[in-house]
Amino acid sequence: MEKLNKSVIILLIVMLILSLTNFLYIKVNGEVLKLAGISVIVGIIAYFTTRKTNEVITSGLDIKKCWSSFKDVKVILLSITPALLQIVCVMVAKIFLPEYIEHLSNRTNFINSSEIIKTILILAVAALGEEIAWRAFFQKQTTKIIKFIPSLVITSVLFSLGHFNFNNPLIVIYDLIFVFIDSIFYGLVFKKTDNAWCSWISHFVANIIAVIVI
């Protein structure tokens, strides 16, 4: 723990707590209160305010090195896997669990097929925010105090919980399993490249593919 300063530890704990708040069924004006999304905002602020704790100021978010990272075949394979998983997830659900599609639509109610450009921009910004928060900050900082695999799993569990939405338990579990697996691959891409821009490309493409398939 001595490898991290107190502010980093506090911010990590805040993100953890906010992710768990998705289990609180609190209604405000008929709508379930969602606080987990604030963890992304906290993570973004945390990354930019604690960059000095990294070896290099651009560590974790270096756009100049992004494209060169994709010269590695392993990075490409890791990056495209979440997109392929989205196809499998949606197609299997359409056959065996059609209620999942409605659940996913409710969880991503900002998607509007009549406003394609707006939807793409929202997906791009949301994915980038999540990658900065959960990979460039949370995963990177926790790997300084625990081994990579536990850090990857913890990050992915909390990332998944941030996508939790009340519904039939079977549908919720099905949804979170795929979110968790996707997060594992985003984390592996980040580990391989130390660049949230790379994991963002993987994340963004997977989201776009999911929207198209749905």
pLDDT value of residue 32: 66
Which positions of the chain have pLDDT values less than 50? Answer: none
Q: Is 172 a domain residue? A: yes
Q: Is 1 a domain residue? A: no
Distant-in-sequence, close-in-space partners of 85: CB < 8 Å, separation ≥ 6: 178, 181, 182, 185, 206
Q: How far apart are the first and last CA of the chain?
A: 44
Query: Which pTM value belongs to this model?
Result: 0.92
pLDDT value of residue 113: 61
Q: Is 116 a domain residue? A: yes
pLDDT value of residue 213: 86
pLDDT value of residue 169: 92
Cα dihedral sign, 123-124-125-129: positive
Q: Which residues of 127-146 are buried (b: 16+ CB within 10 A; e: fewer)?
A: bbbbbbbbbbbbbbbbbeee
Count structural domains, the chain: 1
- The token pair that represents 53 in the structure block: 């704790």
Element (H, E) at 92: helix 73-96
Q: Which residues are registered as beta bridge partners of 31?
A: 28
Instruction: Compute φ and ψ for 28, nearest 5 degrees.
Output: -125, 115
Domain of 198, in residue numbers: 6-213
At residue 37's C-alpha, the angle toward residues 27 and 200, to 5°, is: 150
Tell me the C-alpha distance between 21 and 30, whole Å. Answer: 18
Q: Which residues are registered as beta bridge partners of 27?
A: 32
pLDDT value of residue 103: 82
Q: DSSP of 13-71, one letter per residue?
A: HHHHHHHHGGG---EETTEE---TTHHHHHHHHHHHHSGGGSSSTTTB--GGGHHHHTT
Q: Is 170 a domain residue? A: yes
pLDDT value of residue 105: 77
Contact 211, 123 (CB under 8 A): yes
